[in-house]
Amino acid sequence: MSVTTAPPLLDERGERLKEALGEAGLASGLTDGTVLAVARGLCDQVAAGVPEERILDTVRPIATYAASVSGTALSGDDAARRFVETTVGSYC
């Protein structure tokens, strides 16, 4: 019997994003699937011209959670802005 393993969820671009989020103090506690789903949704919103405040509202809960689990002392707003900036710069 052969054992097959699933291919990694994150490609090279996704790995770069997760690393950049880690450097920003925002990756702890987030699964690869969550990072990928949030990044894709965020990039779609940016491309569609969604107002920045709505984008920040969308990502704030996840960014706040990631910052708190990482021990990063960021407010929810600062964590959301950093998450958006990092994702746009590293993934979109």
Domain ranges of the chain: 12-90
Using DSSP, state whether 53 is helix, strand or coil. Answer: helix
Query: To the nearest 10°, the Cα dihedral for 68, 69, 71, 74?
Result: -30
Q: How confident is the model at residue 62 (pLDDT cuts 50, 70, 90)?
A: very high
Check pLDDT > 90 for residue 87.
yes
57 contacts: CB under 8 Å, gap ≥ 6: 80
pLDDT score, position 7: 61
Of 23, 20, 25, which Cα lies nearest the Cα of 39? 20
pTM: 0.85
N- to C-terminal Cα distance for the chain? 41
